[in-house]
Structure 1
Amino acid sequence: MGVRNYLIEGVSCTGKTTVCNELQRSGYHAIHGDRELAYQGDPESGTRTDTASHENHIWHVDKVKTLVDNQDEPVTFFCGGSRNFSKFIDLFDGVFVLEVDMETLNRRLDERPENEFGGKKTERELIARLHQTKEDIPKNGIIIDAAAPIEHVVDAIVRQCKVNKR
């Protein structure tokens, strides 16, 4: 939906939803990928599955392509996690990876209700492992310290977009 499109990724509880909300509040076009594009499916084939799991949390590739092709906005941010990002990451002008320290991650996990991902003990253990291994986030993204106040996080992202535009 933008002339320039950016993916904002990160492990659970790094602030993707909060960043998306703040970008929207600041007047930017931002898409909540986990709400608007996500479903449970096979990361390779895209085939829907009844298995609700972290590994099957994927985005509709065709929807991502359609949104990227629409150039009604000067910039669009796609915020959220997807296990099939390799299928569409090349469509983006840049990728930002939100990172937090373990103390911040644990504090945020403690604040999660049990009915949200990360609220259960087994999910917390998975998130902690993924935080350490970084195995399911883009490798070549621009790292953003998401432990900072939200205004600073969004400013850092917007500033990097302007630098990369030149």
Structure 2
Amino acid sequence: MGHRNYLIEGVSGTGKTSVCRELQLRGHHAVNGDTELAYQGDPVTGEPTAGARHEHHVWRVDRVEALVADRSRPVTYFCGGSRNHSRFLHLFDGVFVLDVDTDTLNRRLTARPADEFGGTEEQRRFVAELHRTRRDLPATGIVIDATAPLEHVVDEILRLVG
């Protein structure tokens, strides 16, 4: 089997980080894009920007390209969200979009500490709007019901990847 790459996306609170950790625990190569690839930059030009703004949460395209080009692993999972995914979406063999119902999303975000994105009331309202509109998500992708237990969510992704 050749080297394959998959993006796992979703709004804040849908479980991207948890899925990434679970994939890693199961021995899969999974990259947490929100911590390993992200920076604050212009989504079009990639130029760094000052301050922390949702619309400037982008990934280093050169790092994504390098990881995709690395043929030392059969599959790499990229987990997280970025406002510049249109610049590298074509590199992936598939996209999974984690989705939850509104009650689950609110419950998960309410449990977050205030210093984590989605942990304040204003941020929760913003995430709820993103969830409703799907504004920042890839237009195509296989929707995964992430209200299921984490183990089932990861099992489903692995089943679909084959």
Q: Same fold (TM over 0.5)?
A: yes
Give 2:23's aligned amino acid. L
Matched, 1:96 2:96: yes
> Any residues of structure 2 matched to 1:59-70 within 5 Å, and which?
59-70=59-70
Give 1:53's aligned amino acid. R
Q: Which runs of 5+ in 2 are unaligned?
A: none
Deviation of 1:14 after TM superposition, in Å, equals: 0.2
In the other structure, the counterpart of 1:133 is 133
Q: Distance in 1 between matches of 2:76 and 2:62?
A: 17
SS at match of 2:83: coil
In the other structure, the counterpart of 2:4 is 4
Identity, % of aligned positions: 61
Q: Distance in 1 between matches of 2:54 and 2:43?
A: 11
Deviations 1:10-67 (A, max 9, x none): 0000000000000001111100100100000000000000131110000000110011
Q: Distance in 2 between matches of 1:65 and 1:27?
A: 22
In the other structure, the counterpart of 1:84 is 84
Deviation of 1:122 after TM superposition, in Å, equals: 1.4
In the other structure, the counterpart of 1:44 is 44
In the other structure, the counterpart of 1:151 is 151
Q: Which runs of 5+ in 1 are unaligned?
A: none
Deviations 1:122-141 (A, max 9, x none): 11111000000001001110
In the other structure, the counterpart of 2:17 is 17
Deviation of 1:75 after TM superposition, in Å, equals: 0.4
SS at match of 1:55: helix
Q: Distance in 1 between matches of 2:102 and 2:67?
A: 34
SS at match of 2:64: helix
After TM superposition, where is structure 1 displaced by more than 4 Å over at least 4 residues in a row?
Answer: none
SS at match of 1:50: coil
In the other structure, the counterpart of 1:54 is 54
Query: TM-score scaled by structure 2?
Result: 0.98
Deviations 1:70-109 (A, max 9, x none): 1100101000010000000000000000000001000001
